[in-house]
Structures are given as structure tokens and as C-alpha cells.
Amino acid sequence: DSGVTQTPKHLITATGQRVTLRCSPRSGDLSVYWYQQSLDQGLQFLIQYYNGEERAKGNILERFSAQQFPDLHSELNLSSLELGDSALYFCASAESSYNEQFFGPGTRLTVL
């Protein structure tokens, strides 16, 4: 158990819908990262927050957005969902940008 929690574990929804994935980092970690794992793209970095502020953006679609709240939990919002958004979404946390990242168990999103 890495100490990073993600909810829900599984999510099944329809095209065009909007979902919110939630992540609670390890106690004391200020940095949160979101990654997408799909069969065709592998593991891709989406976005990073540090102590409530966005710090880095990767291959994140405009339909996707995220935020980190004052209690340091983070949410990833995915809207206008398409079939190709079906993937495992991982959250990772680290004490700072210079420390190793610990991954949560992931949320498996299925878009039908």
C-alpha cells in the first residue's frame, strides 16, 4: 500500500458524459501527478500540481482539467468523454518535485 488513495476504483459511463476522479496523496506530500495508462499510448503524464498550484502540463486534452485543493487532495475532471478516453488513470504523490513518486491503485474508466 503506497498510501495514495484513488476513488472510484472503476467507472463506467457513456460518451459525451463528464466524470470526476479523486486522489488523496500520502500524508505530507505536496506534489500530485496524474498519468493516463492506455494500451495504445502506454503511460502518459497529464498534469502536476504542487501545493495547490499547477506546475507542469503534459499530453492533457483540453476536455480534461484538474485541480488541487487546500487539503492537498486532487481531482481530475474529464468531460465530453469519447471511447478513446477509456484507460487507467493514476495519481501519484511526492513530498516535493525532487522526490520519488508513489502511485495510487488507479481508476479504471470505461466509456461505452
Partner 1 sequence: GEDVEQSLFLSVREGDSSVINCTYTDSSSTYLYWYKQEPGAGLQLLTYIFSNMDMKQDQRLTVLLNKKDKHLSLRIADTQTGDSAIYFCAERTDSWGKLQFGAGTQVVVTP
Q: How far is the CB of 104 from partner 1 (least distance, A)?
A: 6
- Single-letter amino acid code for the residue at 27: S
User: In one letter, which amino acid is 6?
Assistant: Q
Alpha-carbon distance values, 61 to 1, 47, 71, 84 (Å): 30, 10, 26, 12
Pick the closer one to partner 1 by CB: 41 or 77: 41
The least distance separating partner 1 from the CB of residue 81, rounded to whole angstroms, comes to 22
Which cell numbers hold the place of 43? 503511460
Give the binding-site size for partner 1 (rule: CB under 8 A): 26
Does 42 contact partner 1 by CB under 8 A?
Answer: yes
Q: In degrees, to the nearest 5, what angle opens at C-alpha 111 toward C-alphas 35 and 84?
A: 60
Among 52, 65, 75, 103, binds partner 1 (CB under 8 A): 103
Figure out which of the listed residues 13, 75, 86, 102 binds partner 1, where binding follows CB under 8 A: 102
Rounded distance between C-alpha atoms, residue 2 and residue 73, angstroms:
15
Report the Cα–Cα distance between both ends of the chain, in Å, rounded: 31
Site residues for partner 1 per CB under 8 A: 2, 4, 31, 33, 35, 42-43, 45, 48, 50, 55-56, 58, 90, 92, 94, 97-106
